[in-house]
Amino acid sequence: MTEQFDFTTTEEQTDAVDTSVFGEDTRTEAKQIIARYPESRSALLPMLHLVQSVQGHVSPAGMKFCAEELALSVAEVSAVATFYTMYKRKPCGQHLVSVCTNTMCAALGGDAIYKALGDHLGVGHEGTAGEPGTEGSITIEHAECLAACDLAPVLQVNYEYYDNQTPEQALDLVKSLQRGEKPAPTRGPALSDFRGAERQLAGFFDDLDETVTGPSLATETVRGAELARDRGWTAPSMPDDAELPPLPEKK
């Protein structure tokens, strides 16, 4: 049985799922999310992040909760939750460590980083070392391109970047997390935990000033723009009367 079928339930099974874990505060915040959109079903993605901020994953209860709040079927919610990798079907650790193993990072050491961390933690892709949600527990995963090739190899902890990593640096980082420490990311705000990051992805910033504090760019990323500025390089502007190619004929 594949993971996606774990959420295939009969109507009777769905009715039996208890959603009481989502208290009044969560239900109030769900309504705030829904109010952001002209169509309630458009709120599903942040709603799934909200339930992950409560439970640390998207459970059958979380799917039923979203379905009830958005007037959708559980099957419709399940189809979305099982499509996106950011929605976890098993409880996550306090920290989610995502190691980029796409082409650039892999060539520069991403695979070696993933192996070093996997060997240390004793788990594989989407495995959790420690009791999920408890202090120092770690979930590790392969990540399919973290969009930071200029800083490869990179990894993320709860979606915050740690750039130019080596297996030794990554191992020290994970050991620090296991000790309850939260080393500062290379870029971005102070490190939260997985559930805190999910709350932000749902659109709730309980301390906005703290959330936006921290470096937001890397020297390597803006080097080309700096060179162009210093040397007076500019791109030619497009004339207002430029002739555009015709649109292809629909068949």
Which helix (H) or strand (E) segment holds residue 161: the answer is strand 160-162
**Beta carbons of 74 and 64 less than 8 angstroms apart:** yes
Give the three-state DSSP class for 46.
helix
Across 27-46, b (16+ Cβ under 10 Å) vs e yields eebbeebbeeeeebeebbbb
Rounded Cα–Cα distance for residues 91 and 156 (Å) = 18
Give the three-state DSSP class for 220.
helix
Q: Annotated binding residue at 66?
A: no
Please, which residues have CB within 8 angstroms of residue 213's CB and are 6 or more apart in sequence? Answer: 189, 190
Q: Annotated binding residue at 145?
A: yes
Q: Annotated binding residue at 149?
A: yes
Name the binding residues for [2Fe-2S] cluster.
Answer: 100, 105, 145, 149
Name the binding residues.
Answer: 100, 105, 145, 149
